Structures are given as structure tokens and as C-alpha cells.
Structure 1
Amino acid sequence: MVVTRTRSPIRSNVGLKAVMAVTGIILVLFLILHMLGNLKVFTGETSFDHYAHWLRDIGKPLLPGVWFLWIQRGALTIAVVAHIAAATMLARRSRAARPVRYAHRPKVQGSYAARTMRWGGVIILLFVIYHLLDLTTGHLNPVGDPSKPYANVVADFAPERWYVTLFYTLAIVALGFHLRHGAFSAFRSLGQQTPKGERRARTAALVFAVALCAGFLVVPFAVLTGLVS
């Protein structure tokens, strides 16, 4: 008797796209909340520090210490790994479906964001690692005291540390390209596949990516220019 192995639904193309969609939504929601939280730096040191300390106290007394933050970090890590794994598997299957390479294959007209997803992801990953060591643990921050979040932010993006702002900007721009491509793909999946619908999807994706990037970048440049000190 021959036993036929069936592929798990989650490992099918539809399942992998669903994983990408769900994890993408989770990560985008986190980015929006994170960006809004960063903007509290404009309300002053006391307010920003209170907000940062409140994040560490979420879940008390049900959860001890900073358990909620670590649960959140664990969930986000799983979402990132699942997102990357699903994207990698789909990309490999797409290439495998076209095994024959033509000597004079026409150039694929993809968006700039789609062609730079790989290196953009590497930049974002490196930035996340640096960001955690800088503003979360304080190991790479001039102040280096996690209990003083406002002072850490001001010291981090000070004019003499322009290279940090440059790296931050590069990572956020890469994130913007990633978000623009992902949002456009999501809108298309929702049925926006007519020429008019695609134009609307491109516009909505661009506006969303620019707005989110602007929200992240306004903080370091405010510190760099002395608006926040």
C-alpha cells in the first residue's frame, strides 16, 4: 500500500501567503504603536519617561517585572522569523517554477522596492540589533541608563553622533520601501487588480509608508537640530 503524503495547508502557497499577511499585520501594528510612542518625546522629558516606565509595568501585578515586554519581544521575534521564512519559501518556489533560463530573457519590470527587499531586510535586521543594544539595554548608548529613556534618546541623536542618525535614516528608508511593497501587495490581494484599483493601491501604499517613515524620522532630526534637547 502506497501512503501519499499530503502537504500541510500552512506549507502550501496559499498558507504561506496567509502567514506573511498575518505576521505582516502584527508587525505593522507594532510599528504604528511604536512610532506614536516615540512622538511623545515632544511632550517633554517627564511625560516621555513616564510613558517608557509605564511600558515596563504593563501586566502588573498579574505579570512580574518586565515580563510583558519580554513576551512582546518573543511574539515579535516569532512573527519576524515566520514572515522571513514564508517569504523565502515562496521566492524559492517561484524560481523553481521557472527552471529554464533563456539566453535573452527580457528584464523584469518590478518596482524598486521589490528588487531591494533582500538588502533592505538585512539593513533592517542589523538596525534592530543595534537599536536593542542602544536604547533597550544601553550598552551602546552614551548615557547607558535604561531608567532614563529621554536622556538616552537625546544623547543618541546628538549632533556629534551624526552617524547614528544616518544609520537610523537608512534603516527607516529601507523599512519604507519594504512597507510600500508589502502594503501594495496586500491591497492587490484584497481585489484591487483593475488598472484604476492598482493606481489607488500604489497611492495608498506610498502615503502609508511615507507617513510612517516621517513619524519615525522626525524624532532623531528634532534632536539633531536642537528642537528636542
Structure 2
Amino acid sequence: MAVITAERTNPATRRKKTSSVALKMLMAGTGILLVLFLFAHMAGNLKIFVGEDAFDHYGQWLRDLGAPLLPRTGFLWLQRAGLTVAVLAHIFAAVLLARRARAARPVRYAHRPKVQGSYAARTMRWGGVIILLFVVFHILDLTTGTVNPVGDKEHPFANVVADFAPSRWYVTLFYTLAIVAVGFHLRHGIFSALRTLGQQSPRGERRAQAVALALSVVLVAGYLSVPFAVLTGLVK
């Protein structure tokens, strides 16, 4: 009993617990910020169904946003910088929390009971790697135009149509794999964020699971609708 009391009153233990809570809040906050960006970006992508002029105009509007206070593309660079900081902070918090979780279980048993968890939770690591590789490719493809067949920053519609043309089915396949990974990552991440922010009762957890699933399905469907519309000739 004295040992338990000592642990509870140990300042180092309390600081570590407080630090872990702060890391979870950081991970949840940055995750929410990234989710909001993903949905805003998806809404912009869906303008491709309105037509070439509307989509190209949207691309130009993003480049001119903030003018004359900001130089052309200034808003986009501020956005990229903010997203980079959010991603790095998110990864930092995730890695540190994972290390602490492993340190709290230093003894490895020969036969451990199977951990009950969702498929998304068990694939967060490799899903994160796929997402990271996809982000790098996506930047080189549709941001800088380095690996895009057209690569014209002034005509984003032509870039997208050329990118997901039937002859480039492998790009669509990789895009699909990455977006599905994002969906699994998002489902688990939103659920974890909602739990961190207070949805911890049985009813709250069920609600959080439903919200996380619905948002991830909407996001995956919205993002995949564009490449498959190009692949099938609906958008050309």
C-alpha cells in the first residue's frame, strides 16, 4: 500500500503522466487540423466535376489568395509551412507515446494474449509510411509537376486528367492504396482524438466510432471519385 501511495505522490511520475496527457492533446489537436485540411482539399478537388474552367479558376484563386497583402502563392506557402509543422508535431507525439508505451511493458512474454483492436489501429504504422510516401509523390506530381505528364501549374485540370489517364493505371492504383490507408488512419485517429477530448463513456465511445467511420468513408469516397472519374472517361 505504501508503494502505491509513493508512486502516486512521486513528482517524477506525475510529471510524466502530465507530459503524456499533453502529448495526447498535441496529437489530437494536430490530427484535427490535418483532418480539416483534408476535407477542405477534397472539396476543392470535387470542383473538377463542375468543369475545366471552374477547376482552373479555383487553382488560380488559391494562388492569388491573400493578395495584395501576400505575394502570389504566399498563402499556399504559409499553408504548406503550417501543415509541415503540424505533421512533424503529430509524428513526434506519436513516436514518443509509442516509446513510452513500450517502456511501460519491458517484459516480453512468450505467450501474450491477443490484443483486441481494430484493423486500423494495428496498421497505423505501415499506413503512416504509405501516406508519407504518397505525400512526397503527390507534391512532385501535382504541386511541382516534376513527374506529371503535363506539369503546367497554370492548368491544374489538364494535370489531373493526364495524371490519371488509363495508360497510367499504376498511378491510380497507388493513389487508391494511399487514400484507403488514409481512411484507416483517419478512422482510428478521429476515434482516438475524440476519446482524448473527453468521449470516454460507453455511449460516447460508440458515438465516436460512428463519427470516425462516417468521416473516413466520406473522405475516401470523395478523394477516389476524381481519379476513377478520369480513368473511366467521366472527366476528360
Output the TM-score relative to the length of structure 2: 0.91
Cα deviation, residue 198, structure 1: 2.5
Higher relative contact order (CA 8 A, sep 6+): 2
In structure 2, the residue matched to 1:30 is: 37
Q: 1:157 and 2:157 equivalent?
A: no
3-state SS of paired residue (1:12): helix
| Counterparts in 2 of 1:132 and 1:11: CA distance versus 1, 3 Å | farther
Residues in 2 aligned to 1:89 and 1:62: alpha-carbon distance in whole angstroms: 39
The answer for the alignment partner of 1:41 in structure 2 is 48
Deviation at 1:185, TM superposition (A): 1.2
Establish whether residue 112 from structure 1 lines up as the match of residue 119 from structure 2.
yes
TM-score of the superposition, structure 1-length normalised? 0.93
- Output the CA distance in 2 between the equivalents of 1:26 and 1:199: 23
Residue 9 (structure 1) shift: 8.9
Q: 2:145 aligns with which of 134, 138, 142?
A: 138
Residue deviations 1:144-183 (CA, integer Å, cap 9, x gap): 1111100000000011100000000000000000000011
Moved over 6 A (4+): 4-11
1:93 aligned to 82, 92, 100, which one? 100
Q: Number of residues paired by the alignment?
A: 226
Q: How does 1:183-222 map to 2 (within 5 A)?
A: 183-222=190-229
Give distance in 2, aligned partners of 1:209 and 1:68.
27
RMSD (Å), alpha carbons: 2.0
- Looking at structure 2, the residues matched to 189 and 81 of structure 1 have their Cα atoms a distance apart, in angstroms, of 20
Identity %: 73
Contact preservation (8 Å) 2:25, 2:196: no
Counterpart residue type for residue 47 of structure 2: K
**Alpha-carbon distance between aligned partners in 1 of 2:202 and 2:71, rounded to the nearest angstrom:** 53
Q: What residue ranges of structure 1 are gaps of 5+ in the alignment?
A: none
Deviation, 1:48, is 0.5
Q: Aligned letter for 1:44?
A: G
**Any conservation in 1 of the 2:28–2:196 contact (CA below 8 Å)?**
no
